[in-house]
């Protein structure tokens, strides 16, 4: 890619990320600007300011000697530095008004775009511009599931009903072998926890062609899965009891049928879309009930990136090296909701596994840990503080930006989180 094309691509990424942010927060004013004080969400007013602060921090204020230039907004570090400002204090800070916060967002982006024009996309500075853009994409996804958590309307003016595609059951046999797990260094941008590719041997295994569906998970619920302690790990059963969980968090039984709340609407359960908003403990219990298991992180990446007989080759995406399009995967900006698990056959991996990218994040069996030789990038708190007590998720969901999604991207949450857009697929024992 030539320098002009790279600059245009980066400019588009920055502008589109901001446009999406503004679309997600446009109605979060008044009482919604702060909203209820919950451990699993941020106040929208704080989070919007944090997005602007992060972009300014790394694109405008960061200097080679490690010092910071003055902020556009006096006192911004004491308000928006997520590494220093405790979560439960964010509702009580002297935050700028909603109008002032939006002006801060606009001023920062204007200066970042000017600096891009000045420095170009092939410079070291461009790394930080991409970091800020992807950080904003992540927060856009967080704004989306915060709206779900709080029962606000769906982004974009209502829930989207996708055409029926049906189930996609069964397993595929994957031969296994030795491959390079992680990022190779040829990518334009990688996160520190993806570094670097290292040889891992994966024994042969059988993986489900699709994620677990609502209908499949409903059978687990209806057969007493949440009442059977033997299906749960000790920690999982302890969580279930404390949470009072009897089904996925947004499910309700009405007139003898399961329904789920999607944003501000209670709708009848669609049988063939992936189950969503289940945590790692729930996925683990389902697997034990079904006589299955969660895939290891290396198995997931092997299924997504390798091909039968192609030793040493690794695909950028499950379907090849072509960038994600609507036909490949249910990702933002094309997606607005989950689709049936049989949808997007053009996105199948070489092994015949469907929807490894998009639709729902997929829990894996593994704890989030560093790869060999890990060293933190300049944003040191991106990965290192979370090693050891978070589980790895792979693949992205319908609210994940297509620009961010990849087969080496590692997401991570604590095993009790079920507000995020997470489902799972299984492997044979």
pLDDT tens profile 175-200: 999 999 999 988 889 999 999 999 99
DSSP assignment string, 337-349: S---TT--GGG--
Q: Other C-beta atoms within 10 Å of 305: how many? A: 22
- 2: alpha, beta or left? (left if phi > 0; alpha if psi -120 to 50): beta
pLDDT tens profile 246-256: 999 999 999 99
Packing angle, helices 234-243 and 280-290, rounded to 10: 120
Reported for 20-23, long-range contacts at CB under 8 A and 24+ positions apart, including other chains, are 20/137, 20/140, 20/332, 20/333, 20/401, 21/48, 21/51, 21/105, 21/136, 21/139, 21/140, 21/143, 22/102, 22/105, 23/155, 23/156
* DSSP conformational letter for 364: E
Q: Which residue has the higher pLDDT, 65 or 232?
A: 232
User: Is the preceding omega at residue 55 within 30 degrees of 0, hence cis?
Assistant: no
Report all structural domains of the chain as residue ranges with CATH numbers, in order of start: 3-149 (1.20.120), 159-429 (3.90.1580.10)
pLDDT grade for 203, boundaries at 50, 70 and 90: very high
Query: Residue 37 corresponds to which tokens in the numbers above?
Result: 């004080």
Q: Other C-beta atoms within 10 Å of 169: how many? A: 13
Question: What pLDDT is stored for residue 157 in this prediction?
Answer: 60
Question: What pLDDT is stored for residue 2 in this prediction?
Answer: 82
- 271: alpha, beta or left? (left if phi > 0; alpha if psi -120 to 50): alpha
Question: What pLDDT is stored for residue 160 in this prediction?
Answer: 60
Do residues 122 and 74 make contact, with C-beta atoms less than 8 angstroms apart?
no
Do residues 412 and 392 make contact, with C-beta atoms less than 8 angstroms apart?
yes
Degrees to nearest 5, angle at CA 68 with 67 and 73: 165
Question: What pLDDT is stored for residue 158 in this prediction?
Answer: 55
Q: Which residues contact 33 (CB under 8 A, 6 or more apart)?
A: 43, 44, 45, 98
Say what percent of the chain tops pLDDT 70.
99
Question: What pLDDT is stored for residue 159 in this prediction?
Answer: 55
Average pLDDT over residues 268-276: 98
| Average pLDDT in the chain | 96
Given a cut of 90, is residue 260 above it in pLDDT?
yes
Do residues 301 and 366 make contact, with C-beta atoms less than 8 angstroms apart?
no
> To which residue do tokens 């990688």 refer?
190
- HEC profile for 86-125? CHHHCCCCCCCCHHHHHHHHHHHHHHHHHHHHHHCCCCHH
Average pLDDT over residues 258-277: 97
pTM score, whole prediction = 0.97
pLDDT grade for 65, boundaries at 50, 70 and 90: confident
CB half-sphere exposure, 80, CA atoms < 13 A: 26
pLDDT tens profile 390-427: 999 999 999 999 999 999 999 999 999 999 999 999 99
Question: What pLDDT is stored for residue 256 in this prediction?
Answer: 92
Distances (CA, A) of 273 to 257, 268, 318, 398, 408: 16, 12, 20, 12, 24
Question: What pLDDT is stored for residue 278 in this prediction?
Answer: 98
Average pLDDT over residues 54-61: 98
- 406: alpha, beta or left? (left if phi > 0; alpha if psi -120 to 50): beta
pLDDT tens profile 294-321: 999 999 999 999 999 987 789 999 999 9
Average pLDDT over residues 369-383: 97
- Least Cα distance to 181 among 329, 320, 303, 280 occurs for 303
Strands 361-367 and 422-423, how do they pair? parallel
Question: What pLDDT is stored for residue 312 in this prediction?
Answer: 78
Return the C-alpha torsion angle 330, 335, 338, 340, nearest 10: -50
Average pLDDT over residues 194-218: 98
Question: What pLDDT is stored for residue 355 in this prediction?
Answer: 98
User: Is the preceding omega at residue 64 within 30 degrees of 0, hence cis?
Assistant: no
Q: Which residue has the higher pLDDT, 161 or 95?
A: 95
Residue 260 three-state SS: strand
pLDDT grade for 360, boundaries at 50, 70 and 90: very high
pLDDT tens profile 155-165: 876 556 677 89
pLDDT tens profile 328-359: 999 999 998 999 999 999 999 999 999 999 99
What span, in angstroms and rounded, lies between the C-alpha atoms of 137 and 399?
Answer: 9
Say what percent of the chain tops pLDDT 90.
93
């Amino acid at each position: 890619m030539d320098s002009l094309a790279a600059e245009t691509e980066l400019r588009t990424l920055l502008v589109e990320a901001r446009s999406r942010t503004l679309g997600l927060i446009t109605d979060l004013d008044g009482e919604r600007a702060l909203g209820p004080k919950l451990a699993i969400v941020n106040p929208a007013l704080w989070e919007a300011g944090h997005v602007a602060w992060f972009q300014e921090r790394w694109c405008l204020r960061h200097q080679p000697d490690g010092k910071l230039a003055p902020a556009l907004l006096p006192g911004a570090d004491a308000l928006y530095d997520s590494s220093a400002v405790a979560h439960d204090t964010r509702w009580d800070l002297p935050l700028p008004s909603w109008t002032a916060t939006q002006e801060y967002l606009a001023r920062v982006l204007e200066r970042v775009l000017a600096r891009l024009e000045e420095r170009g996309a092939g410079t070291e500075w461009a790394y930080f511009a991409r970091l800020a853009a992807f950080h904003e994409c992540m927060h856009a996804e967080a704004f989306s599931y915060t709206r779900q958590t709080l029962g606000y309307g769906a982004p974009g003016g209502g829930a989207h009903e996708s055409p029926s595609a049906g189930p996609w059951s069964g397993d595929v046999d994957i031969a296994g072998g030795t491959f390079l797990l992680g990022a190779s260094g040829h990518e334009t941008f990688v996160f520190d926890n993806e570094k670097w590719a290292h040889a891992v041997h994966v024994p042969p295994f059988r993986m489900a062609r699709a994620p677990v569906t609502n209908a499949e998970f409903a059978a687990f619920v209806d057969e007493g899965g949440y009442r059977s302690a033997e299906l749960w790990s000790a920690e999982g059963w302890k969580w279930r009891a404390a949470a009072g969980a009897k089904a996925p968090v947004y499910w309700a039984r009405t007139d003898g049928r399961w329904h789920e709340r999607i944003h501000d609407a209670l709708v009848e359960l669609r049988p063939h879309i992936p189950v969503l908003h289940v945590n790692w403990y729930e996925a683990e219990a389902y697997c034990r009930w079904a006589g299955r298991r969660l895939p290891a992180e290396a198995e997931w990446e092997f299924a997504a990136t390798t091909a039968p007989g192609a030793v040493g080759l690794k695909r950028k995406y499950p379907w090849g090296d072509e960038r994600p399009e609507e036909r490949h995967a249910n990702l933002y900006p094309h997606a607005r909701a989950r689709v049936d698990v049989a949808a997007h056959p053009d996105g199948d991996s070489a092994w015949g596994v469907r929807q490894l990218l998009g639709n729902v994040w997929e829990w894996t069996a593994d704890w989030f840990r560093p790869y060999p030789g890990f060293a933190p990038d300049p944003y040191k708190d991106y990965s290192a503080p979370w090693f050891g007590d978070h589980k790895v998720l792979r693949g992205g969901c319908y609210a994940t930006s297509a620009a961010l999604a990849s087969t080496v991207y590692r997401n991570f949450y604590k095993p009790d989180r079920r507000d995020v857009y997470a489902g799972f697929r299984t492997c044979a024992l």
